[in-house]
Amino acid sequence: MATALKAGDVFPQGVTFKYIPYAEDQGEITACGIPIDYDASKEFAARKVVLVSVPGAFTPTCQKTHLAGYLARQEELKSKGVDHVIVIAYNDPFVMSAWGKANGVKDNFVVDILDMDERWLEISRNLTRTNISMPNQQLFMSDTGTAFSQSIGWTAGERTGRYAMLICNGKVLYAEKEEKKEVTVSGVDAVIAKL
């Protein structure tokens, strides 16, 4: 049986999302990059991350209300120490990449992450050891097959549910799922109130 995450829980091991890192030469919305794995369990262990789940990319509430709030308040999230805002949905990584591009996700807050080669891993380890903060980033990822959302029981039928989590150094500080078709407990206001 799926167990929902709550404040105080350790973020589970083995959570992986798929995404396509933004690259300038692939900046057109119709450009197709190559999906790679993002080891959320590992990456969340040493960062302050907001994980936002939406039922679908390019859908009215997800676009106009849910995502728009996080995009509009990027600077405030940065100022409160958020390293990454990660937006997941049941959509495949190609759709999620296009959604990010359609929303202009490519600046210093909203950049690509992790080529996962040895050079980057060494830089990452050095930054962690010397306590230098990583640039803030907003990433659009696929919860492929809704595997993670199913594991915590937070789906909307066959889609990912609408929820938000705040994770700091691998510990869940906030986790709430919307019970109605609105954006309240998963919106940026609710998350910022917990920072």
Catalytically active residues are 62
CA distances from 77 to 138, 146, 157, 166, 181 (A): 11, 26, 31, 11, 25
Residue with tokens 């798929």: 18
Q: Is the dihedral of CA 122, 19, 172, 58 positive or negative?
A: positive
CA distances from 23 to 20, 30, 49, 86, 97 (A): 9, 13, 22, 17, 11
For residues 177 and 154, the answer to whether their CB atoms sit within 8 Å is yes
Q: Residue 158 pairs with which residues in a beta bridge?
A: none
Residue 142, judged by CB atoms within 10 A of its CB (0-12, 13-18, 19+), counts as buried
Residue with tokens 């790679």: 36
